[in-house]
Amino acid sequence: MNMPPHHYPHEDPEPDVFDLLATRTALIVTANLLRMPTEHREPLELAAHAGVLEMWEKAVPELRRMLLLQAAWEARGRFTGEADDDAARYAGYFSDAAAAAAAGGMTERADFVHLAAPPFLTAQSLAFDRDESAVSLVATLLLARHIPGRWT
């Protein structure tokens, strides 16, 4: 198996595929609702009402990290929101980091998601901090809202 440098597969257990798909689908639906002009709730309020916050809190940290970085890669360079809170600052950081990685020649989302580089380590820290689960969820939703087309 050919791994990129600084990738430690023994520290990166694959989350359950069902959990991955169910959580990602819930994020996509919530992000799509946030795009609607008639939706006036804040991301955390909508996520809590729809049960997405509870789902996010029950997800393993590796899954939260993976989905956060996937959303950042898909929305790279597109998040230009005001960084008025921690979630928006994280969303901006991850979007910029993904754009910089792509500009530096990275072409695969999997490399950005799994390469033990500063964005990975920041996402890891955020995902494992149970007290910040709402922040990581909102950052992921802010990024997902800026994904053009489909989240593949």
Residue range 39-59, pLDDT digits in tens:
898 999 999 998 999 999 999
Residue range 103-149, pLDDT digits in tens:
999 888 989 998 889 999 999 999 999 889 999 999 999 999 888 87
Distance CA 143, CA 120 (A): 16
Position 5 confidence tier, pLDDT thresholds 50, 70, 90: very low
Please return the burial class of 141, using the count of CB atoms within 10 Å of its CB with bins 0-12, 13-18 and 19+: buried
pLDDT for 8 equals: 41
- Counted residue by residue, the chain has a size of 152
What's the whole-model pTM score?
Answer: 0.83
Please report where in the chains the tokens 């799994």 appear, as a residue.
Answer: 114
Mean pLDDT of the chain: 84
